[in-house]
Amino acid sequence: MAEVGHWVADALTATLPAQWTVPQVLKDAMDYSLQAGGKRLRPLLVIAACEALGGSREAALPVAAAIEMVHTYSLIHDDLPAMDNDDYRRGKLTNHKVYGEAAAILAGDALLTHAFYSVVQASRKFGVPAENVLSIVEDLAEMAGPRGMVGGQVADMEGEQGLTDLHQLQYIHLHKTGDLMIFSLLAGGRIAGADESQLEALRQFGTQIGLAFQIQDDILDLVGDESKLGKKTGSDIKQQKVTYPYFIGLEASREEVKRLTAAARSAVLEGGFQDHTRLLEIADYLMSRDH
């Protein structure tokens, strides 16, 4: 998986066409957060889904880079003083602490916009049919926009004001985190020319690992190892954020992660893919991860 991370990092560096004139500080601010690392989980999902269906990794790269741009923009805006007001992420200063708030807002806007440019390159550079790429554009707008990630973020913000119940928490998890994972899998499938039943299997897989991923996050914030996580634990409690363990307890939360992971595995095993090894590896990794 580390190898895929390098591929994606290279793809991200090369992502602005060389003939474009772009202010240097904007390039720097975009690049700073893109290169700040992280698990590259979403690009990995695009590539894994594409390869599971016999598609080529190269053709998946523009969309893999795009989803990392969308994820990165959401982190930059999330860290702003008006939002979570974080000074550090993954041990590095946040974007606005380095470039100032105005540049950070604009770098986020630029990354979100450029993600759509990158998606289109799957057609321009690798000949993915225009109809498939258009569906990827539509999915991305739906799952990153008001019905998807941004909707989840707004609900999360409202939840911090004490309005959350378990149903609301599930809505937040599904949209704030899950939707981009579902998008990544569907997009990988569409690049490889998946049929409707394969897309549905990918959607099931994504919904379940997305929720499992977020519950595991909640668990790690409660009982994880700070040195492995690279951040302080207990932040949910300090911020009075409600979590899965808060509602159903730590043990039941662990059971829920196991149950969701098993359901995700079934969806993939019955999905009729050429090779589901990588997708199953990802599900197992997400369940057992300690950071």
The answer to the question of residue 140 lying near its own copies (CB under 8 A) is yes
Q: Which is nearer to its own copies, 56 or 153 (CB)?
A: 153
Would you call 93 helix, strand, or coil by DSSP? strand
Nearer to its own copies, 46 or 172 (CB): 172
CB of 19 to its own copies, least distance (A): 9
Per-residue HEC secondary structure of 17-40 comes to: CCCCCCCHHHHHHHHHHHCCCCCC
Give the whole-angstrom CA distance, residue 270 versus residue 278.
Answer: 15
Give the Cα separation of 168 and 185 in Å (integer): 24
Residue among 35, 54, 125, 145 that touches its own copies (CB under 8 A): 145
Counting contacts by CB under 8 A, is residue 165 touching its own copies? no
Least gap, CB of 285 to its own copies (angstroms): 29
Under the criterion CB under 8 A, does residue 153 sit at the interface with its own copies? yes
For residues 140 and 120, the answer to whether their CB atoms sit within 8 Å is no
Strand extents, DSSP E, 75-196: 88-89, 92-93
Q: Does the protein bind its own copies through residue 98 (CB under 8 A)?
A: no
3-class secondary structure per residue, 48-61: HHHHHCCCCHHHHH
Is residue 71 within 8 Å of 180, Cβ to Cβ? yes
The footprint of its own copies on this chain (CB under 8 A) covers a number of residues equal to: 56
What does the per-residue mask of binding to its own copies show for 208-247, with x meaning CB under 8 A?
----------------------------------------
The amino acid occupying position 157 is M
- Is residue 8 part of the contact set for its own copies (CB under 8 A)? no
Neighbouring residues of 235: CB distance < 8 A, sequence distance ≥ 6:
221, 241
Of the residues 58, 92, 117, 285, which one makes contact with its own copies according to CB under 8 A? 117
Binding footprint of its own copies on the chain (CB under 8 A): 16-17, 20-23, 25-27, 30, 73, 77, 80, 82-83, 100-103, 105-106, 108-110, 112-117, 119-120, 123-124, 129-131, 133-134, 137-138, 140-142, 144-147, 150-151, 153-155, 157-158, 171
